[in-house]
């Protein structure tokens, strides 16, 4: 049973086959899927699932705080179930791959920079080019 499904059960979320398939697809670290991708994967387990069900379920999970939305430049929003460990993202400008990163140190705003806002969270997305796109992946040391 995935971490996400365990959390949802604890909350008393009604686990239908559709919801289970969606939760299963989203589980794990470094998993950042678009709604369409969730739909495509969930359909292999539950062929009768509709895209509308996927959208509604994702919306509900986000509202519950069990899944977060990751903005990805101009691309479609990705969904991330890794909400228990705060993290930032590293994305490839070429292929759009997206991984979780946990950089050391606080990235807090100074009082002067916070414009009077009460800051409750931070999301950082680092942009660059992944090893696959720069061709460094197979390079020996
Ligand atoms: Zn890439
Ligand atoms: Zn993430």
* pLDDT computed for residue 109 by the predictor: 78
Kindly report, residue by residue over 69-122, the tens digit of the pLDDT. Answer: 988 767 789 999 988 888 889 999 998 889 999 887 766 777 788 888 988 777
Cα–Cα distance for residue pair 97/32, rounded to 1 Å: 9
Residues whose Cβ atom is located within 5 A of ion ligand 1: 92, 94-95, 130, 133
Sheet with 98-101, side-by-side order of all strands? 98-101, 88-92, 125-128
Within its chain, how far is the Cα of 29 from the centroid? 9
User: For 1-141, where are the alpha helices, taking DSSP H only?
Assistant: 3-10, 17-26, 35-45, 51-64, 131-134
87 C-alpha to center of ligand 2: Å? Answer: 6
Ligand 1 centroid to Cα of residue 91, in Å, is: 8
Distance between CA atoms of 88 and 22, rounded to whole angstroms? 23
How many whole angstroms separate alpha carbon 6 and alpha carbon 84?
A: 13
Q: Classify the phi-psi angles of 88: left when phi > 0, otherwise alpha if psi is within -120 to 50, otherwise beta.
A: beta
Whole-structure pTM value: 0.79
Kindly state the DSSP code that residue 33 receives in the 8-state scheme: B
Distance 12 CA to ligand 2 centre (A): 25
Q: What is the pLDDT of residues 25-84, one digit of tens each?
A: 999 778 899 999 999 999 999 999 999 999 999 999 999 999 999 887 677 899 999 888
Ligand nearest to the CA of 97: 1
User: Which one, of 24, 23, 17, 25, lies nearest residue 46 by Cα?
Assistant: 17
User: Cα of 109 to ligand 2 centre, how many Å?
Assistant: 21
């Amino acid at each position: 049973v995935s971490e996400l499904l365990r959390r949802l059960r604890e909350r008393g979320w009604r686990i239908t086959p559709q919801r289970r398939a969606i939760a299963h697809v989203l589980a794990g670290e470094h998993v950042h899927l678009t709604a369409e991708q969730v739909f495509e994967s969930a359909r292999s387990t539950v062929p009768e699932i509709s895209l509308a069900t996927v959208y509604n379920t994702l919306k509900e999970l986000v509202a519950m705080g069990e899944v977060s939305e990751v903005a990805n430049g101009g691309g479609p929003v990705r969904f991330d179930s890794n909400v228990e460990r705060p993290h930032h993202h590293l994305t490839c400008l070429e292929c759009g791959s997206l991984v979780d990163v946990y950089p050391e140190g606080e990235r807090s705003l100074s009082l002067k920079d916070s414009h009077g806002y009460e800051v409750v969270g931070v999301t950082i997305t680092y942009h660059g080019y992944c090893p696959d796109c720069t061709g460094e992946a197979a390079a020996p040391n």
